[in-house]
Amino acid sequence: MSSLKPCVDALYEGVDRVAQSIPGVPKSEVLLVRLLMLTAGALLREFENKLKPYGMNDSDFRTLMMLYSSEDGSATPGELCALAEQKPTNMTRIANALAKKALISRSHATHDRRQVLLRITPAGRRFVNKMLPPMFPPLMENFACFSSTERKTFEKLLKKLALHIDPTVDTDDTP
Amino acid sequence: MSSLKPCVDALYEGVDRVAQSIPGVPKSEVLLVRLLMLTAGALLREFENKLKPYGMNDSDFRTLMMLYSSEDGSATPGELCALAEQKPTNMTRIANALAKKALISRSHATHDRRQVLLRITPAGRRFVNKMLPPMFPPLMENFACFSSTERKTFEKLLKKLALHIDPTVDTDDTP
DNA sequence: GCCTAATAGTTCACCAGCGAACTATTTGCC
DNA sequence: GGCAAATAGTTCGCTGGTGAACTATTAGGC
């Protein structure tokens, strides 16, 4: 799309200017959270551009990959929701879309007939095997600005953050 | 919402398993990009929960803040689009929403009558001054797991990444 | 000065994701 | 066994964001 540089510059300037009007602005944290969202957004858009030719978006793809990488190639919508931070509503639609492309199959679980069992099909596996490798080089390019030490550090911090932020979310959505 | 831990664990396991079936998976990069999106998504959801009582989403808020922090409190939709990585279509709707709440005003630019001039109103400024400070503590909490050195390192790496990834996006959307 | 190009916003039709309401099934208390 | 409560998915109606087509204005070649 367009360069992120002006966005980043404007962000730094903007935060500085706001901090002059309002006391106590946690500049560092604001910058972090905005940079995170900006970067993640850009990466997401780039990835979805690559998926578009296949008629897929990132959620569809992630769901397919979760099935691909699951123990026995199957899972229930509920399990997938939990692992993908998705709502059941959306998972229904994703499953419909993937099933329509014959990349996954749907059946009822035997022991609990409320559950639905989604399973990746051989065609689904072939699809992943074929479309995934070409995506590696551009993905690696994205992080080419990092030394391997930096990549490790970044991953460590990111993981720490991911595991930390969660409890906070819980505390204040039921007033 | 729910804990990110299972997502993170499943991510690491899943990548390992996929790497066993498909050669050449850039594990480190996949983990980074997924952790980034996961974390950013969680932070975004948390923030939007806080904005909901004000009948706003993050885009609305960001737009308002860009006006708040701009040199003279005004900007054209086009400028805001560029800085917020937004499409003009969406900016129109955002401007409508903010104008409806009387937080911004709309007028035509004098020197180029195609342009529209958006300006934050005094009420808009008061709104920001009032609603912003209570958001600081929970925001700081999110990054409380970082020492100040870690925060600095993380910001440095994140900024580096943000400024790097952009050119890649450009190269492959016009086939 | 005029006519084509380009540019700034808007409108329209569509897709993705969400909460609320609903259905089908299971669990557990009696 | 039977009935209330919980659980798994689905359907429905709404919001947020997008590309394509459209309008209004300006810029540029002649």
The partner residue sitting opposite A43, judged by closest CB among B4, B33, B141, is: B33
Q: What is the mean pLDDT of chain A?
A: 91
Statement to judge: residues A70 and A130 lie in one domain:
yes
Q: Which of residues 35-74 of A touch B (CB under 8 A)?
A: 35-47, 49-50, 58, 65-66, 68-70
Say if residue A130 is in the same domain as residue A101.
Answer: yes
Angstrom CA distances, B131 to B56, B61, B72, B115, B155, stand at: 12, 11, 21, 30, 26
Q: How far is the CA of A114 from the C1' of D7 (A)?
A: 8
Question: With an 8 Å Cβ cutoff, are A165 and B1 in contact?
Answer: no
Q: What percent of chain A has pLDDT over 70?
A: 93
What's the confidence (pLDDT) of residue B174? 32
What pLDDT digit, counting tens, does each position of A24-64 carry?
999 999 999 999 999 999 999 999 999 999 999 999 999 99
Q: Region B16-22: what's the mean pLDDT?
A: 96
Report the half-sphere exposure of B35 (CA within 13 A, side-chain side): 26
d(CA A26, CA A28) in angstroms, rounded, equals 6
Domain match, A132 and A96 both: yes
Predicted pLDDT of residue A169: 40
Give B109→chain A minimum CA distance, Å. 22
Query: Whole-number mean pLDDT of chain B?
Result: 91
Express each pLDDT in B73-127 by its tens digit. 999 999 999 998 899 999 999 999 999 999 999 998 888 899 999 999 999 999 9
- With 60 as the cut, is the pLDDT of residue B151 above it? yes
Relative to beta strand B104-108, strand B74-75 is unpaired
Domains in chain A: how many in total? Answer: 2
Is B39–A165 a contact, with Cβ atoms under 8 angstroms apart?
Answer: yes
Q: Distance (Å, rounded) from C-alpha A81 to C-alpha A100? A: 19
Q: Do B36 and A24 touch (CB under 8 A)?
A: no
What's the rounded Cα separation, in Å, for the pair A24 and B137? 10
Q: At A95, is the secondary structure helix, strand, or coil?
A: helix
**What does the alpha-carbon distance between residue B127 and residue A144 come to, in Å, rounded to a whole number?**
42
CATH number at residue B92: 1.10.10.10
Is the same domain home to A72 and A121?
yes
Q: Which of A30, A49, A168, A171 is the mutation pick for testing B, counting most B CBs within 10 A?
A: A168
Residues A140 and A74 both lie in one domain: yes
- pLDDT, residue B44, reads 95
pLDDT value at position B2? 57
pLDDT at B111: 85
Question: In chain B, helix, strand, coil percent, each to 5?
Answer: 70, 5, 25
Q: What percent of chain B has pLDDT over 70?
A: 93
Residue B132 lies inside a defined structural domain of this protein: yes
CA angle B27–B28–B30, rounded 5-degree value:
65
Residue B162 belongs to a domain:
no
pLDDT of residue A166: 67
> Residue B169: its pLDDT value, please?
40
- For the record, the structure tokens of B114 come out as 């195609």
A43/B142 Cα distance (integer angstroms): 22
Residue A71 and residue A30 share a domain: no
Let me know if A175 is exposed, middle or buried by CB neighbors in 10 A (0-12, 13-18, 19+).
Answer: exposed
Is B17 inside any structural domain? no
* Strand C nearby residues, CB < 7 A: A 57-59, 86-87, 89-90, 93-94, 97, 111-114; B 76-79, 81, 88-89, 91-93, 95-96, 106, 112, 114-116
Range of the domain at A71: 55-144
Residue showing tokens 């709707």:
B93
B118: left (phi over 0), alpha (psi -120 to 50) or beta: beta
User: Taking a C-beta distance cutoff of 8 angstroms, is the pair A16, B17 a contact?
Assistant: no
Residues in chain B closer than 8 A to A169 (CB atoms): 1, 42, 45-46, 49
